[in-house]
Amino acid sequence: MHKTTHDAGMLTEAAAAQAAGDDAEAWRRRDLAVLWHPCTQMREHPDTLPLLPIARGEGPWLVGRDGHRYLDAISSWWTNLFGHAEPRIAAAIARQATTLEHVILAGCSHAPAVELAERLLAIAPREPGREPLTKVFYADNGSAGVEVALKMAFHWFRNRGVEGRTKFIALDNGYHGETLGALAVGDIPLYRRVYAPLLAEALFAPSPDAYQCEPGETPADRARRAAGTLGELLQRHADEVCALILEPRVQCAGGMRMHDPLYLKLVRELCDAHGVFLIADEIAVGFGRTGTMFASEQSGVQPDLLCLSKGLTGGSMPLAAVLATQSIYDGFLDDSREKAFLHSHSYTGNPLACAAALATLDIFASDGVIARNRVTSQRMADLAAAFADHPHVADVRQAGMIVAFELTRNGDKRTPFDSAARIGLRAYRAALDRGVLLRPLGDVLYWMPPYCIDDDALQLLAATTRAAMDHAIEEAACA
Ligand code: PMP
């Protein structure tokens, strides 16, 4: 009798797994019949690149339609902070949805937009003796936020009758989004090269990337050297430049390359000396990701324009905010409409997104997130330390809640794998098979989990990362 029940249980389980597998497969087919996915060579679906239909999210976990759970180790493109379907954020969105879902923000105002602006300005980086950030302009995604900041910097000089400052300085290996303006100040060849003929000319300065230190050079030395070259560039071109844009502390899309906070401090001094605006793109590194609320704080620097998105809503709704100084704002006040900043998106300051962002800031305040992250990031450091002696791991680096592993081909730890070996893709597939959603950047595997990740999940992440990298390297060797 007992045996029969047991067998029946097994059968039911097997049948359920089969049904879930069929359901996932059906969704895969429906999807590929109609969707064109972002950042994807569609030809690789579904054979080379598995497509993962997700039914729901739960804390740091994604639950697949196949019935398996997948750890979201990259916070769904670096957006998620407190887990999926976070009840407090969900409730805030639901409340707002039955009050005011959207209203045009040109000529109208609403409480969530005002309150969010007040609260963002209150926590924004501040530097003694520098005029604070006092105004917020909303957009609806990171790239659009970058466009806003670039256009504001350029337009400000125009409004003062300065016609020659038409260029931007950006950093080698930087990334600021996919729209044409953002691509023009980006330096990731894979995204940029094909569109190069369409892009405005920008000036590029060396990245302060500590991975590129010469033997005997410290990250701070490297920061000084990169700033030295930037200084020379500014000497030659300052009167053509309106702003410099960079990602403080970590060049994320560029392979989680990290630099010494000293660099931003030196950049701030150079921008001041040459009358160039400093735009900090904290779209990926803001909201506690690198250990402080904003990465600029680690350098004691306040930018003139600060771009925020991704974690701004805890990963729940698209929203961007650009914070500006009063002088920048004042530079647009005039009798002429042309001197106004006419940039607009239909969903500017969407109330649902602002409500989600307010709930996110409430969680920061009530849950002691930054302090708790210090404990979590120390645990991540302990687990990552075990990778240092791996024969193919050239570098283990960390900034708060980001850990990255640079994989290289051989013992000198500087020879990259042939890109045709597709190490990252192989690691991606191997990790998925083991229940972890990693999405390597080339040969860089990284952890950027939701802050609510617990110790068991971290251990699974570390073990799976190791298994995935070993599997990828072995598989590539056999291919
Ligand atoms: N800036 C940085 C630093 C980013 O990492 C990203 C997105 N990865 C963007 C801008 C663009 O944001 P979005 O994808 O929302 O357009």
309 lines ligand 1 (CB under 6 A): yes
What is the average pLDDT value for the chain, to the nearest integer? 96
284 lines ligand 1 (CB under 6 A): yes
* CA pair distance 257, 253, nearest whole angstrom: 9
311 lines ligand 1 (CB under 6 A): no
Ligand 1 atom nearest residue 146's Cα: 10
* CA pair distance 255, 266, nearest whole angstrom: 23
* CA pair distance 356, 407, nearest whole angstrom: 37
* CA pair distance 407, 441, nearest whole angstrom: 11
Residue 441 Ramachandran class (φ > 0 left, ψ -120 to 50 alpha, else beta): beta
| 175 annotated among ligand-binding-site residues | yes
| 346 annotated among ligand-binding-site residues | yes
177 lines ligand 1 (CB under 6 A): yes
Ligand 1 atom nearest residue 141's Cα: 15
Structural fold of domain 91-367: Aspartate Aminotransferase; domain 2 (3.40.640)
Distance 180 CA to ligand 1 centre (A): 13
Are 432 and 54 in contact by the 8 Å Cβ rule? The answer is: no
147 lines ligand 1 (CB under 6 A): no
Going from N- to C-terminal start, the domains of the chain cover 1-31, 91-367, 373-387+417-479
Residue 414, pLDDT score? 80
Q: Tokens in use for 318? A: 């698209």
Other beta carbons within 10 angstroms of residue 466's beta carbon come to 17
Q: For 187-228, what is each residue's pLDDT tens digit?
A: 999 999 999 999 999 999 999 999 999 999 999 999 999 999
Are 360 and 89 in contact by the 8 Å Cβ rule? The answer is: yes
Residue 399 CA from chain centroid, whole number: 13
Ligand 1 atom nearest residue 143's Cα: 16
Distance 306 CA to ligand 1 centre (A): 13
Distance 62 CA to ligand 1 centre (A): 22
176 lines ligand 1 (CB under 6 A): yes
User: What residue owns the CA closest to ligand 1's atom 7?
Assistant: 177
Which residue has 């890109």 as its token pair? 419
Nearest to 288 by CA among 249, 245, 341: 249
Residue 1, pLDDT score? 40
262 lines ligand 1 (CB under 6 A): no
Distance 78 CA to ligand 1 centre (A): 9
Q: For 350-399, what is each residue's pLDDT tens digit?
A: 999 999 999 999 999 999 999 999 999 999 999 999 999 999 999 999 99
Angle subtended by helix axes 369-385 and 455-478, to nearest 10: 40
pLDDT tens for the chain, 479 residues: list them. Answer: 444 556 667 768 899 999 999 999 999 999 999 999 999 999 999 899 989 999 999 999 999 999 999 999 999 999 999 999 999 999 999 999 999 999 999 999 999 999 999 999 999 999 999 999 999 999 999 999 999 999 999 999 999 999 999 999 999 999 999 999 999 999 999 999 999 999 999 999 999 999 999 999 999 999 999 999 999 999 999 999 999 999 999 999 999 999 999 999 999 999 999 999 999 999 999 999 999 999 999 999 999 999 999 999 999 999 999 999 999 999 999 999 999 999 999 999 999 999 999 999 999 999 999 999 999 999 999 999 999 999 999 999 999 999 999 999 986 778 999 999 999 999 999 999 999 999 999 999 999 999 999 999 999 999 999 999 999 999 999 98
pTM score above 0.75: yes
* CA pair distance 146, 116, nearest whole angstrom: 19
140 lines ligand 1 (CB under 6 A): no
Are 60 and 452 in contact by the 8 Å Cβ rule? The answer is: yes
Q: For 446-474, what is each residue's pLDDT tens digit?
A: 999 999 999 999 999 999 999 999 999 99
Question: Which of the listed residues 249, 282, 309 should we mutate to test ligand 1's pocket, taking the one with most ligand atoms within 8 A of CB?
Answer: 309
Q: For 311-331, what is each residue's pLDDT tens digit?
A: 999 999 999 999 999 999 999
Distance 307 CA to ligand 1 centre (A): 10
